[in-house]
């Protein structure tokens, strides 16, 4: 029998560090159903730069299989206490949450912090001497300005439920704070999207783009993000000319956007927000107002200067008005951070904290843009997809993983569990044009629990690939409400989520990504099974005797290969489906 989860109380938590000037007070503000919320006040007799403070506790290592953090990808293993790397959370990187999950996918411990703006260090590490997990949150590790009063809340959840439920509940908890209210999500953020990046990189061609958009629209893609290259003819993948954002390559910008609108697609442009290239006019204008000039890509704007923020906001505002854009891909937000050469506050700055200045910048960006076009979409990518970023972005995208279907699947799931109603997009899928259609389909079917993004040259794709793309993109569009609003559960994180399911009152979709016994623990009358693998046997284990279903089986190009009656009994059953095919089960009445 698995031991019950360990309960954390006030006496289990200690607060250490700081200076003599500061005192700390911890109290329980809520304790219900194995969820405890602690309020922690740190108060100084006078304002001063605080020394680092650690909040820590330990729990016995009962039934812990791995450790979930928001952006660890494949690395969800247990970390020993002699491993020195800690997770960093701040406004533009990660989220202040860690989960310990069990061998049965149960939650063993989930802890989260209310402060998603400032830099925190978090960890939960195994100590071999006593077989406990030592958990902690470090505060003030980069604070270089005076503080007198500081308050956070710590939420600890030890319920014996599926680990994903605790993550989704933390997301709702973050939404309850005034400074973490998510922005609204427009319809334009919830449509399959064509991206120019992997297929064009910086070598954009207006005529080819228009032709690609026509093909993409017919396949079910209703928006395009024009990535890097629209603003410059420099095609060396560098950022020397960023900062001015005057279109050089797509120089008839308004006319281009109008052509794409006529096709029926929304249009967004890419901007690298922090970067100001050495060869830009902006670099000379803002000389001395950079967090660093030694970044490997380009100098990084310092958002603590109000004129820097005003300059950036006006760039996006002007593009929205003058070119009639529908959205923006705002990139590299995580490079707004403290560097060794970053200056302390000067009289020209109106913020001490870089993180708080980023919060102000992005708040003003979304407020300004939504006042002009209320349904503007803003895309951010991992790792800047935490709760604070939901205030300014309504689309979160999996971090770049070209050609890597498994990583795309993992990253979509990891984002989705914390994203609430914010749209979660796949990384742009791409594959070699001579790939077999079944292997190409792996790229797409691994993205379907997010909003698909595609980045291949459609004009050069074989007809079999186009049929596959159209079939699964139309399938996603037909099931859009379920995919974006249903109750989502990914299983077995250390096996890279070999099974995912999403369910509402009418239907369940089950994604099976490996040769794996897939459990059905719900009473369903309509069940779609994505055979998202190259093997053709599906093995199911049902908790219930669900009766007879009409089974319609499709190959990955959308052709019906078989219609039959399938009885889904309690226990083990199996059925066959083509590689990367689809089985639709409808209960017989």
Lookup result for tokens 């009962």: 62
SS3 label, residue 116: coil
Spatial distance between the Cα atoms of 356 and 366, rounded to a whole number of angstroms: 16
DSSP string, 418-456: T-TTSEEEPPPB---TTS-HHHHHHHHHTTTTSB-EE-S
Tell me the HSE value of 32 on the side-chain side, using a 13 A CA sphere.
2
- The alpha-helical segments, DSSP class H, found in 90-196 are 163-175
Query: Is 155 in contact with 35 (CB distance < 8 Å)?
Result: yes
Tell me the residue ranges of DSSP E strands in 293-383.
300-301, 327-331, 377-381
pLDDT, one tens digit for every residue, the chain (589 residues): 456 777 888 899 999 998 888 999 999 999 999 999 999 999 988 999 999 999 999 999 999 999 999 999 999 999 999 987 889 999 999 999 999 999 999 999 999 999 999 999 999 999 999 999 999 999 999 888 889 999 999 999 999 999 999 999 999 999 999 999 999 999 999 999 999 999 998 889 999 999 999 999 999 999 999 998 898 777 666 788 899 999 988 889 999 999 999 999 999 999 999 999 999 999 999 999 999 999 989 999 999 999 999 999 999 999 999 999 999 999 999 999 999 999 999 999 999 999 999 999 999 999 999 999 999 999 999 999 999 999 999 999 999 999 999 999 999 999 999 999 999 999 999 999 999 999 999 999 999 999 999 999 999 999 999 999 999 999 999 999 999 999 999 999 999 999 999 999 999 999 999 998 999 999 999 999 999 999 999 999 999 999 999 999 999 999 999 999 999 999 999 999 999 999 999 998 7
The answer to whether the CB of 152 falls within 8 A of the CB of 117 is no
* Dihedral over Cα of 164, 166, 172, 178: its sign: negative
Q: 3-state DSSP: the chain helix, strand, coil percent, rounded to 5?
A: 25, 30, 45
Of 264, 308, 259, residue with least CA distance to 282: 308
Strand partners, 151: 41
């Amino acid at each position: 029998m698995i031991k019950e989860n360990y309960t954390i109380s006030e006496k289990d938590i200690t607060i250490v560090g700081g200076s003599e000037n500061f005192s700390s007070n911890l109290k329980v503000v809520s304790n219900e159903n194995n969820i405890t919320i602690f309020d922690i006040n740190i108060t100084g007799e006078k304002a001063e730069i605080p020394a680092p403070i650690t909040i820590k506790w330990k729990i016995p290592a009962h039934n812990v299989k791995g450790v979930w953090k928001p952006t660890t990808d494949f690395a969800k293993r247990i970390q020993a206490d002699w491993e020195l790397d800690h997770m960093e959370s701040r406004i533009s990187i990660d989220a202040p949450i860690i989960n310990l999950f069990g061998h049965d996918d149960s939650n063993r411990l989930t802890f989260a912090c209310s402060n998603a703006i400032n830099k925190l260090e978090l960890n939960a590490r195994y100590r071999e001497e006593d077989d406990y997990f030592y958990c902690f949150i470090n505060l003030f590790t980069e604070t270089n300005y005076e503080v007198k009063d500081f308050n956070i809340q710590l939420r600890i959840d030890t319920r014996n439920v599926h680990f994903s439920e605790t993550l989704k509940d933390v997301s709702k908890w973050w939404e309850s704070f005034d400074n973490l209210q998510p922005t609204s999500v427009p319809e334009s953020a919830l449509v399959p999207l064509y991206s120019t990046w992997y297929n064009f990189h910086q070598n954009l061609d207006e005529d080819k783009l228009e032709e690609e958009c026509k093909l993409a629209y017919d396949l079910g893609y209703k928006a395009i993000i024009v990535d890097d290259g629209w603003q410059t003819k420099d095609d060396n993948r560098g950022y020397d000319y960023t900062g001015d954002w005057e279109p050089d390559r797509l120089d008839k910008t308004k006319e281009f956007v109008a052509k794409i609108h006529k096709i029926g697609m929304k249009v967004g442009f890419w901007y690298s927000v922090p970067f100001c290239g050495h060869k830009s006019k902006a670099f000379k204008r803002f000389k001395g107002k950079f967090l660093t000039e030694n970044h490997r890509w380009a100098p990084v704007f310092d958002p603590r200067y109000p004129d820097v923020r005003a300059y950036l906001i006006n760039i996006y505002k002007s593009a929205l008005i003058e070119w009639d854009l529908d959205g923006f891909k705002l990139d590299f937000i995580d490079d707004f951070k403290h560097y060794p050469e970053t200056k302390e506050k000067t009289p020209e700055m109106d913020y001490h904290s870089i993180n708080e200045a980023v919060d102000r910048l992005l708040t003003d960006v979304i407020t300004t843009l939504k006042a002009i076009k209320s349904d503007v979409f803003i895309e951010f990518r991992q790792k800047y997809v935490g709760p604070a970023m939901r205030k300014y972005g309504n689309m979160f995208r999996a971090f770049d993983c070209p050609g890597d279907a498994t990583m795309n699947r993992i990253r979509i799931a990891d984002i989705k569990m914390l994203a609430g109603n914010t749209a979660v997009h796949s990384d742009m899928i791409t594959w070699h044009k001579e790939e077999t259609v079944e292997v190409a389909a792996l790229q797409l079917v691994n993205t379907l629990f997010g909003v698909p993004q595609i980045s291949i040259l459609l004009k050069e794709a074989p007809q079999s690939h186009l049929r596959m793309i159209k079939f699964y993109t139309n399938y996603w569009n037909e099931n859009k409400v379920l995919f974006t609003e249903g109750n989502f559960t990914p299983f077995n994180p250390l096996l890279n989520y070999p099974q995912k399911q999403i369910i509402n009152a009418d239907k369940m979709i089950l994604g099976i990504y490996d040769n794996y016994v897939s459990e059905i623990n719900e009473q369903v009358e309509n069940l779609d099974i994505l055979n998202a693998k190259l093997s053709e046997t599906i093995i199911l284990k049902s908790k219930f005797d669900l009766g007879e279903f009409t089974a319609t089986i499709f190959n990955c190009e959308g052709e019906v290969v078989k219609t039959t009656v399938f009885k889904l009994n309690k226990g083990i059953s199996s059925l066959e489906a083509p590689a990367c095919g689809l089985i639709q089960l409808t209960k017989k009445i």
